[in-house]
Amino acid sequence: MNTQEALTLFREKQLRINSYRLALTTMNWDSSTIAPKKGADYRNHMMAILSGELFSLYIDPEYIKLIEQLAAADDLSETESIEMKQMLKELNKERNIPKDVFVKFAQLQRDGETIWEKAKETSDYPLFKPYLQKLIDGTKRNISYRNDTRSTYASLIDDFETDMTIEKYDEFFALVKEKLVPLIHAIKEANIPAPAFLSASVPIQQQRAVVELIREYLQYPKDAGLISESVHPFSSSFSAFDNRVTVRYHENNFTSSIFALIHEVGHATYNGQVNPEYQGRHIANSMTYGMHESQSRLYENMLGRSKAFWSSLYPKVVELVDALKDVSLDEFIFGINYVTAQFYRIEADELTYPLHVLVRYEIEKDLFEGNLTTEGLDEVWADKYESYLDIRPQSTSEGILQDVHWSGGAFGYFPTYALGSAYSAQFMNKMSQDLDIDKLMENNQFDQINGWLKDNIHTFGGLYTPEQLLLRITGETFNPSYYIDYLLNKYSELYKIKL
């Protein structure tokens, strides 16, 4: 079979695989947003079977042979060649897992999420614990089939962020700790109380109206996107023209839904601005987790928490939200950047955020390296929060049970959150050389910002590694000092602290 014949046959099989993936994406979305609870058992069972069907297609010897042939071919276009090499790499990760092991793990992932939801509601870590243990064991087992010489956690790290290592993360987090902790301490000592409006009661209906206002401002399209509600906000890419987000409304924390929205729309915009010719191909969605997070963080923090973002929006928000009647724009900006140690990662301010991630990174690493077990892990979690942030969660729902990730077996995911923030600072530095970002936001021209992101980052999908993209766009490889400097400058100024 020549390369073109192989490619045609491969694309046909890829479309078939895509049909299963879209089915599971849709079922996941449905399950997380609107599905009635009592249907969960049957639904989880069916999804596990369908995941097994999908897995069978992934490990179909004919399909694998095509990928191998195409990854070795020298007469493909450059994008096709990169795509096939990426696919071969992915394939090698999973190809030796026996189907029954895979199906069992898929069922465990679904059960894990269902049990986690229940456990979170009632702060019942012991209910979740055996599932967490099984998920860790299952993950180790899955990775053992790879015959990788690295540790399980090293492999997981690389899965979520191409070319990342434990060593690089250790260095990065050491820098975060060294530079940021003193500033956080100084801010704590300044002892400035939280603005009252942050915890004011804001009816959900007013919050929905604000969310709709911001949707328009960000130019997140209604005919190619959707805003729904779920326990934990997330974004989900159905296809080039269907990229959705969820938020969650808290009556006494209305800025939560605002920044969840901006964050998730950052993800959705990334997927929605990939070259549409890539639709259905691996590179349409093979960006790393860190890269994806860089775009959501850039939206949420670099843009969404800036004064320019709100200058034209804020008067309209005040009209919608009674609790802001007497709050000036400057007070609002200070409030949405207010630094405080609290329990929830997704509610965390920009400055303490990487320490939330650090807690998870250290626990994951120790769990997989054998230095910790699930027994009493809720207490380990609480100890770390006490030691880094000087607060101790009083229940596991505000502690170890707050995040969905582990319940679905996603270990190695968390550190990409901090890394993404660091990438975003490096991209932002470059974008602000090319565009007058503040002026564009003040003039309600978010499309210009989206345009820059599209042309420089989004359109390429997952074609390039993070290091390649950073080099291509900013002229240098990953340099965490943009992130550290950005945080030090911004927060020392906001809190009038001399460093």
Residues catalogued as catalytic: 264
**204 part of the interface to its own copies, by CB under 8 A:** no
Q: Look at the chain and count its residues.
A: 499
Are 310 and 329 within 8 A, CB to CB? Answer: yes
**Core vs surface per residue 222-246: b (16+ CB within 10 A) or e:** eeebbbbebebbbbbbbbbebbbbb
Tell me whether residue 43 or residue 140 sits nearer to its own copies (CB atom).
43
Number of residues that bind its own copies (CB under 8 A): 42
> Would you give the distance in Å from CA 182 to the centre of its chain?
27
Contact residue for its own copies among 133, 217, 230, 238 (CB under 8 A): 238
Q: Minimum CB separation from its own copies for residue 230, in Å?
A: 13
Tell me whether residue 273 or residue 301 sits nearer to its own copies (CB atom).
273
**241 part of the interface to its own copies, by CB under 8 A:** yes
**122 part of the interface to its own copies, by CB under 8 A:** no
Tell me whether residue 271 or residue 402 sits nearer to its own copies (CB atom).
271
**203 part of the interface to its own copies, by CB under 8 A:** no
**27 part of the interface to its own copies, by CB under 8 A:** yes
Distance CA 142, CA 101 (A): 8
Measured CA distances, 8 to 239, 283, 345, 377 (Å): 21, 17, 45, 50
DSSP string, 68-113: HHHHH-SSS-HHHHHHHHHHHHHHHHHTTS-HHHHHHHHHHHHHHH
Residue whose C-alpha is closest to residue 333's, from 310, 315, 353 = 310
Contact residue for its own copies among 195, 280, 335, 408 (CB under 8 A): 280
**219 part of the interface to its own copies, by CB under 8 A:** no
Rg of the chain over Cα atoms, rounded to whole angstroms, equals 23
**18 part of the interface to its own copies, by CB under 8 A:** yes
Distance CA 499, CA 487 (A): 12
**151 part of the interface to its own copies, by CB under 8 A:** no
**495 part of the interface to its own copies, by CB under 8 A:** no
Contact residue for its own copies among 86, 115, 164, 225 (CB under 8 A): 225
Distance CA 279, CA 132 (A): 35
**37 part of the interface to its own copies, by CB under 8 A:** yes
**39 part of the interface to its own copies, by CB under 8 A:** yes
Tell me whether residue 38 or residue 498 sits nearer to its own copies (CB atom).
38
Q: Tell me which residues in 427-446 interact with its own copies (CB under 8 A).
A: none
**98 part of the interface to its own copies, by CB under 8 A:** no
**8 part of the interface to its own copies, by CB under 8 A:** no
**231 part of the interface to its own copies, by CB under 8 A:** no
Tell me whether residue 43 or residue 307 sits nearer to its own copies (CB atom).
43
**372 part of the interface to its own copies, by CB under 8 A:** no
**6 part of the interface to its own copies, by CB under 8 A:** no
Q: Minimum CB separation from its own copies for residue 45, in Å?
A: 8
Contact residue for its own copies among 113, 159, 242, 378 (CB under 8 A): 242
Q: How far from each other are the two terminal CA atoms of the chain, in whole angstroms?
A: 66
Contact residue for its own copies among 81, 151, 219, 228 (CB under 8 A): 228
- Per the listing, tokens 């906000």 go with 233
Dihedral sign from CA coordinates of 296, 359, 228, 331: negative
Burial class (CB in 10 A: 0-12, 13-18, 19+), 208: middle
Measured CA distances, 139 to 114, 144, 422 (Å): 18, 8, 28
Q: Which stretch binds its own copies (CB under 8 A): 237-245, 317-325, 422-430, 454-462?
A: 237-245
**30 part of the interface to its own copies, by CB under 8 A:** yes
Q: Tell me which residues in 44-63 interact with its own copies (CB under 8 A).
A: 45-47, 49-50, 53
**34 part of the interface to its own copies, by CB under 8 A:** yes
**22 part of the interface to its own copies, by CB under 8 A:** yes
**Paired tokens of 325:** 């009647």
**Core vs surface per residue 59-81: b (16+ CB within 10 A) or e:** beeebbebbebbbebeebeebbb
Measured CA distances, 23 to 20, 220, 491 (Å): 5, 24, 45
Distance CA 25, CA 19 (A): 10
Tell me whether residue 267 or residue 297 sits nearer to its own copies (CB atom).
267
* Residues at the contact surface with its own copies, assessed by CB under 8 A: 15-16, 18-20, 22-24, 26-27, 29-30, 34-39, 41-43, 45-47, 49-50, 53, 221-226, 228, 238-242, 244, 279-280
